[in-house]
Chains A and B, each alone.
Chain A
Amino acid sequence: MMDTYTRVLEIAAETADEAVAETAVTKLITHLKSAGREKLLPSIAAELRKIAARRRALRPVVEVAHADDERAALLEAKEAGIDARHAVVNPSLISGWRGRTGSVLVDRSGKRALIDIYRNVTS
């Protein structure tokens, strides 16, 4: 049952209209109270937090090795289908950039290239 409540709120959150989402939450809380099932609320909230974290992980993100490369990296990433507004600086990449959107990853970093060479040489 909890899954169903969570799913209802997830669908409501997907709609662009915030008022619709607000109404859905209010109605659900009223329903749970009247049914004496308020105990489900913390679990529903925890489940929604997990879903939100999962969605955040799937948002477009671009990382660059050096701040100077941000503009070029964002342009290249856009060409590759990753449309992010800003890039995050991640010095561990050594050089180049990498980006993710949904389950698509484009990795043009120096770190990845070095690790691939290392694996090919040592295997």
Chain B
Amino acid sequence: MESIIKRIEKELESFAPAAGAEETGIVRATGDGIAEIDGLTSAVLSEMVLFDPTFDRTLEDALKDPEPIFGLLLNLEEDGVRAAVLGDASKVYEGMLVRRLGRLLSIPVGDSLIGRVVNPLGEAVDGKGPTGATKQVPIEREAYGVIDRAPVNTPLHTGIKAIDAMIPIGRGQRELIIGDRGTGKTTIAIDTILNQKSESPETRPICIYVAIGQKESKTAKIVAELEEKGAMEYTIVVTAPASSPAAFQFLAPFAGAAIGEHFMEAGKDALVIYDDLSKQAVAYRQLSLLLRRPPGREAYPGDIFYLHSRLLERAAKLSKERGGGSLTALPIIETQEGDVSAYIPTNVISITDGQIFLLADLFNKGMRPAIDVGISVSRVGSSAQTKAMKKVSGKIKLELAQFRELEAFMQFASDLDEETKKRIDAGRRMTEVLKQPDGKPLPFELEAAIIFAATNGYFDSFAPEETSAVERKLQDFLVREAGDVLGAIREKREITEETERLYRELLEKFVERSK
């Protein structure tokens, strides 16, 4: 009680009433989360406004529900403005007073956000009280220019063998994860977050998972998994669930980018996952149609490409002069029946630096992750790949693509020559080696060691169908008996001649024992 009285007394001492004139407007019409407002003639685009429920009520009534409702100005028109209501739109009524706040839509950022679940306005939604973040940053801002950037040169390991070997991702890159529903897109993103646990705390990126239009139960499950595996220590979750207003779902990725930029500007590495941008595009389409903007292809507004390009351009690797931080973006797009030529998928494919394409057919065949190696690509990641991974993964992609062709041919041919059979068996073995269960990302040195064994024929003495079991045994063997070799790969980031010699001896021992 004493502390409350002191707090109020302190507030009264420092209180200065707002004596100046302020610009206000009146709600002319409202519906579907959009308010048409008269007045606010000097307001600017993307400015925040406040719908004030206390203006025409008695003090007693006003204090029963004093929470202001924020709005975002999206249309400036000849005779008024239109705003998206960022909150309970049912509380906005005709004739309601609207105040200008004189600032662009901003969110509080800071290190105290780590481990928290927030909404796109930066408000905590995990029941753990206020986040304590105080630095306000606008959620929309221009991306860094050419001069401020440096080439992508540091790897971001996902812990997924197939990706780190064939479609490597660099820090500061934008790599799209695309596929039909239920093909493992979110799993790749979550495994990538989990794998950062194996990084040293100095180089470990801060991860931001942005859930857009997801079921709350799915987000809760993801947060629980991250917490259980200790990944919330370096992760922030921004959530705009399916039940939230369209404006929240449209803003959530920008909020995630703003939070990521805070860490990037502090010289740290950050990773932001937008799960998914298809739902954001749908939310933006809804807002645009309600704002009476003209519809274009698939009823999306004309600036839908700009919406995604300005968001993804914010991913960057900064120059040394700018602190050398980075923001890596992993946007997710959901396709319908594997159609990558639809409007939003083609847009985002053209904006990003590569894509990981997941196939429903592969998924149904039991391939995890269900990556289609043929059309998955990383345009800048190879320059960020470690020497060790480059050395071991050289021809995997080509060999697997050849195997897929031969596999199709095999269905028609009854009699195959020895050379073709050998290639098919090698492809099968490699496919088995690259299989990986959900939630089990591997440290990079272990990935390199396993792929080294596969590409150097150490699995050849086993039948292709035994490969998975042998690979699991090899993992256990390496962890148990090859600590020195793994340590050397981790430390030097390459497989030196000496390490290779030692490792080959160990592999021969392993093959001998496993036969």
Q: Which residues on A are within 8 Å of B, measured CB to CB?
A: 54, 57-58, 80-81, 92, 94, 100, 102-108, 111-122
Query: Closest Cβ of chain B: how far from A89's Cβ, in Å?
Result: 14
Residue from the list B12, B41, B63, B66 in contact with A103, Cβ < 8 A:
B41
Contact (Cβ within 8 A) B59 A94: yes
A115 touches B17 (CB 8 A): no
Query: Are A92 and B58 touching (Cβ within 8 A)?
Result: yes
CA distance A106 to B25 in the complex (A): 13
Q: Are B24 and A115 in contact (CB under 8 A)?
A: no
- Is B15 in the interface zone, CB < 8 Å from A? yes
Compute how far the CA of A99 lies from the CA of B68 in the bound complex, rounded to whole angstroms. 21
* A58 B21 Cβ-Cβ under 8 A: no
- The answer, yes or no, to whether B466 is at the interface (CB within 8 Å) is no
The residue that A105 contacts in the complex, of B15, B24, B62, B95, with Cβ under 8 A, is B24
Task: Using A92-B58, A118-B63, A121-B7 as known contacts, say yes or no to A103 and B15 having CB atoms under 8 A apart.
Answer: no
> Which chain B residue lies CB-closest to A100?
B24
| B residues 303-351 touching A (CB-CB < 8 Å) | none
Evaluate contact between A120 and B11: CB separation under 8 angstroms. Answer: yes
**Pairs A–B under 8 Å by Cβ, sample size 13:** A54-B28, A92-B57, A103-B25, A104-B24, A105-B23, A106-B20, A111-B54, A114-B59, A116-B15, A117-B8, A119-B66, A121-B7, A122-B66
With both chains docked as a complex, state the minimum distance between the C-beta of B26 and any C-beta of chain A, in angstroms: 5
Q: Are B21 and A81 in contact (CB under 8 A)?
A: yes
Task: Count chain B residues whose beta carbon lies closer than 8 angstroms to a beta carbon of A.
Answer: 31
Which residues on B sit within 8 Å (CB–CB) of A120? Answer: 11, 15
Complex: how many Å from CA A92 to CA B54?
Answer: 11
When A104-B22, A105-B21 are in contact, do A115 and B11 touch as well, CB less than 8 Å? no
Quick check: is B39 within 8 A (CB to CB) of the other chain?
Answer: yes
Please tell me if B18 contacts chain A, counting CB pairs below 8 Å.
yes
Is B392 interfacial (CB 8 A cutoff)?
Answer: no
Q: Known: A57-B38, A103-B40. Contact between A115 and B25, CB under 8 A? A: no
B160 lies within 8 A of chain A by Cβ: no
17 further contact pairs, Cβ within 8 A, besides A57-B95, A111-B62: A54-B26, A54-B28, A58-B38, A80-B21, A81-B21, A103-B38, A103-B40, A105-B22, A106-B22, A108-B17, A108-B19, A111-B54, A113-B15, A117-B11, A117-B15, A119-B66, A121-B11
Contact with A along B10-49 (1 / 0, CB 8 A): 0110010111111111101000000000111100000000
Nearest B residue to A105, CB-CB? B24
Q: How far is the CB of A59 from chain B (nearest CB, A)?
A: 12
Residue B97 interfacial (CB < 8 Å):
yes
The answer to whether A54 touches B22, judged by C-beta atoms less than 8 angstroms apart, is: no
List residues of B (51-85) whose CB comes within 8 Å of A's CBs: 54, 57-59, 62-63, 66, 68
Contact residues in B for A108 (Cβ distance below 8 Å): 17, 19
Residues of B within 8 A of A103 (CB): 23-25, 38-41
Complex formed: what's the CA distance from A103 to B68 in Å? 19
Interface of B is mostly: mixed
Q: Which residue of B lies closest to A109 (CB)?
A: B17
Q: In the assembled complex, which residues on chain B have CB atoms less than 8 Å from the CB atom of A121?
A: 7-8, 11
Query: Which of A57, A100, A105, A111 is the most central at the interface, judged by chain B CB atoms within 10 Å of its CB?
Result: A105
Given contacts A100-B24, A104-B24, contact A116 B18 (CB under 8 A): yes
Given A104-B22, A119-B66, are A111 and B59 also a contact pair (CB < 8 Å)?
A: yes
A27 to B28, CA, bound (A): 31
Measured CA separation A57–B99 after assembly (Å): 15
Complex Cα gap A118–B11 (Å): 9
Nearest residue, chain B, Cβ from A101: B21
State the CA gap A115–B21 with chains docked (Å): 18
The 5 closest A-B pairs by CB, nearest first: A103-B39, A105-B24, A92-B58, A113-B17, A104-B21
Which A residue sits closest to B15, measured CB to CB? A117
Q: Which residues of A contact B59 (CB under 8 A)?
A: 92, 94, 111, 114-115
Residues of chain B lying within 8 A (CB to CB) of residue A58: 38-39
Complex interface: chain B residues within 8 A of A117 (CB): 8, 11-12, 15
B62: nearest chain-A partner, CB-CB: A115
Min CB distance, B60 to chain A, in Å? 9
Q: Return chain B residues, CB-CB under 8 Å to A80.
A: 21
Say how far A112's CB is from chain B's closest CB, in angstroms.
7
**Are the C-beta atoms of B28 and A104 separated by less than 8 Å?**
no
**Separation in Å of the B485 CB from the closest CB of chain A?**
57
Query: Would you give the shortest CB distance from A70 to chain B, in whole angstroms?
Result: 20
Q: What are the residues of chain A within 8 A of B68 when measuring CB–CB?
A: 119
**What is the CA–CA distance of A94 and B20 in the complex, to the nearest angstrom?**
19
For residue A54, which residues in chain B have a CB less than 8 angstroms away from its CB?
A: 26, 28, 38
Which residues of B have CB within 8 Å of A115?
54, 59, 62-63, 66
Contact with A104, one of B11, B19, B23, B66 (Cβ below 8 angstroms): B23
